[in-house]
Structure formats: C-alpha cells, structure tokens
Chains A and B, each alone.
Chain A
C-alpha cells in the first residue's frame, strides 16, 4: 500500500477565497472519509463516500463545503468563501467497506487570514 495522500499539505488563504483540497485513497479502498481537526481536539467527521456515492454528511458541513468523488477514486473537498473559523487540519481517510479500520492521510493544514 502506498498510503493515503493529500494535497496540498499546507494552504494559506484570505478570508472570502475559495480553496480545494485533494485526497487519493489507498488504491483498493472503496470508502473515503473527510474529517476536520482543530488544535487540541480529536478529528470531527465531515462526510464519506462509498465508491462515487456520498452516503453521509455531518451537520458540521455547511453549504459552503462540497465534496466530490467523481470516479470513485480520488476526492476533492472545496470550501467556498472561507472564514477564519475554517482554519483547521483537514484529514482524509480510506477503508474497505468490509472493514472498520480507517487509514489516514497526512492532512491539509488550512489557515484563513
């Protein structure tokens, strides 16, 4: 396994700008998850996909957030009109649908100025 990869690793943006993050899961994993982690807290679930289908979205995911996984492989998470409160680490994880264990990528650290 090459592991879960995320790009970019760091992003600094100004309030009101749009940002997009990419996640490439472990190749044979059909489930892909997005989490957000702020300093001193554990990761909070945002959304997850099984293949191309987005099966669950957290109430944390406001209308400014959208995630896609068009071909059931990589996924993108877009945040529109960023706010300072969006500053966090955005973690992606993947798993097989038959297994509980989720494997995490290195994360994208977002800072909104």
Chain B
C-alpha cells in the first residue's frame, strides 16, 4: 500500500525565518510527487516533481525530489504570516503501461505557523 510521511507535523517560526518541510514516500511505480498548500479550504497546487535533482521554484518557495532516497523537501525562505497553512505532500503511481493510477496518496500534512 502506498504511504507518505511528512515531518515535522507542526512548525512555529517568526517572519523572516527559513523553513524546510520533509516528505518521504513508498509507492508502487512512482510517477509524480505534488505539494499543496491548504488554508482552511481546498488544497491549492504548488509544485509537481517527477525527476530527481531538478529544483522547482516559485518566488520564495522551492522544492526538490530525490527518487533514490524516496523523499522530497519544500523550502520556504523569508517566511511571511501569509505562509501559515497546512502543507500537504502527495504521490501518484502508475500502472505497468505507464498511465497514472489517478489517485493521489497524501501525507498527514505539516502545519506551519508564522508569527509576526
């Protein structure tokens, strides 16, 4: 059964700090890893990673995947109070023919709180 574990489960920082969120996974026939941000409503998409070692970057957020060690990290630099949210990591698998399973398996999430 596919499994995703995120750490830490919660994190409290002050504005301006840099944080690193971790995601490790076990999935049959890995296809992709996705990061989402959830603020009391629907998860909003941040990044999708499929290849090892290629950093994805968007403003102060960046993420990288290590397919050998089966983990990903999400970095947030110069944190702001608006970054306070739950950050979810999810993985998608694929069938023998290469098409995706469709479903995503999510981790428990990391609750990030940024104080002014």
Contacts and interface: CB of A to CB of B under 8 A. Distances in A.
A2 interface: no
B43 interface: yes
Given A42-B108, A100-B100, 6 more contacts: A4-B42, A31-B102, A40-B109, A41-B108, A91-B43, A106-B41
B106 interface: yes
Interface string B92-109: 100000001111111111
Interface residues of B, number: 25
A46 B101 CA distance: 13
A44 B106 contact: yes
Nearest to A48: B102
A48 B103 contact: yes
Interface residues of A, number: 24
B44 A55 contact: no
A75 interface: no
Contacts, number: 59
B67 interface: no
Interface of A: 4, 31, 33, 35, 40-45, 48, 50, 55-56, 58, 91, 100-107
B73 interface: no
Contact of B103 (A50, A56, A91): A56
A107 B105 contact: no
A94 to B, nearest CB: 11
B10 to A, nearest CB: 10
Interface string B76-116: 00000000000010101000000011111111110000000
